[in-house]
Structure 1
């Protein structure tokens, strides 16, 4: 597992909370552009993330706030990826297309589309059973 993502309304408050819990801020940066919108299936995506880590341990927590489109506060039956409190767990995979094919019979549906981030990753978000959202990332050579 690479990281777990949580959409929050107030990034500063969330960073402070998880810092108090013992995590460290690794990086904070804006996220936007066509590739990002393609991964999560949202138009005109502008967000900011804070990557948190547990000292001397693997795995990370990605806290995200959405500037555009604005995060959705009410929880609809099938929430979009920018719903407050929705958790996304990102998994590193060797073959993204094969993984998608294996998860489809179990209810997996790609939310946006598979997107290439530079020559580094192939990425997508996938909705699974119960509406849970996971991310898949294939590192390119």
Structure 2
């Protein structure tokens, strides 16, 4: 009986030690005000990284496109292959534009409240920056 109690105590202690490791979250998680510069035009978006059930997700709310009417609907997009590893992230975005489909690959890192990275596109890499909201 004493061995059973000792084993239970060890198991309980081990589980308590493991909890902080599971509770830690990536500094990438949260909402970011981001911007890219495309041909001298600043395009802003709000990017939100979240985690649920061990999987990561990204939601992007695009700001108004330069030259587009203020009431223009947002472009449709689908985000996939989200990977968050510590302070680094990658994901793919299929974006439907008036000129046709664009496939984008986002990569970046977070340091404190600053996000830096790159958006890979058919037109070459585009720098992206952001600050935590």
Q: TM-score, normalised by structure 1?
A: 0.31
Task: Pick the structure with more strand per residue.
Answer: 2
Task: Pick the structure with more helix per residue.
Answer: 1
Q: TM-score, normalised by structure 2?
A: 0.33
Give the structure with higher Rg (CA).
2
